[in-house]
Amino acid sequence: MLWVKGVPEEVKSYYSTLKFKDVIETEDTLVSIMKFFDNSLGIFSITNTSVDIWDSKIEFVGTKGTVSFSADYPVKILYLIHEDPAVATKLLALYELLADKFSEAPPVSYYGTKHREQMGDFFNVILDKTKELFIKPEEALRTLSVVEKIYNYEKK
């Protein structure tokens, strides 16, 4: 949402630890409603209380189309529709082109795959294997500003 709509102007969030009270140091369920500059709304919800462990999904629903995809292994498009079928075809072709990049199954890990990928990216820059981070520091700061809005709402 941040890349599509920018930093939200307003955020209302609720979070709780429902299932893993004695296991994790943070909430296991969170829901945020975000209002953007043009009065459009976005919903961000996370939970790891599902029996479908670490099966992260991202869904965008807009006026021109909808896409839903898994964010962990294996990366797959779950649903894609666009008002222009040619756009949907191009997106599916791009997915097919990149799908092989994510074909290796990760080992089972408490935090899934994303933390390890972020750490690997960081170490590759430090060790001069790559010149810059995949996610630029400026983008990380924008993301942090949204996270702060998410968590500050309930404290008011």
Q: What is the pLDDT of residue 105?
A: 59
Residue 28 has pLDDT above 80, yes or no: yes
Q: What is the pLDDT of residue 4?
A: 80
Q: What is the pLDDT of residues 104-122, one digit of tens each?
A: 655 555 556 667 778 888 8
The residues, ordered by sequence, that sit 6+ positions from 57 with a Cβ below 8 Å of its Cβ are: 68, 69, 70, 71, 78
Cβ neighbours of 122 (radius 10 Å): 13
Q: What is the pLDDT of residue 34?
A: 93
Residue 156 has pLDDT above 50, yes or no: no
Q: Residue type at 35? A: K
How many angstroms separate the most distant Cα atoms in the chain? 50
Cα distances from 2 to residues 8, 40, 145, in angstroms, run: 8, 13, 10
Sign of CA dihedral 98, 109, 105, 55: negative
pTM, two decimals, is 0.67
- The first and second tokens of residue 146, run together, are 């949204």
Q: What is the pLDDT of residues 79-107, one digit of tens each?
A: 999 999 999 999 899 888 877 766 565 55
Q: Average model confidence (pLDDT) for the chain?
A: 83
Sign of CA dihedral 97, 99, 104, 110: positive
Alpha carbons 67 and 45: distance in angstroms, whole number: 16
Query: Tokens 């894609």 appear where?
Result: 80
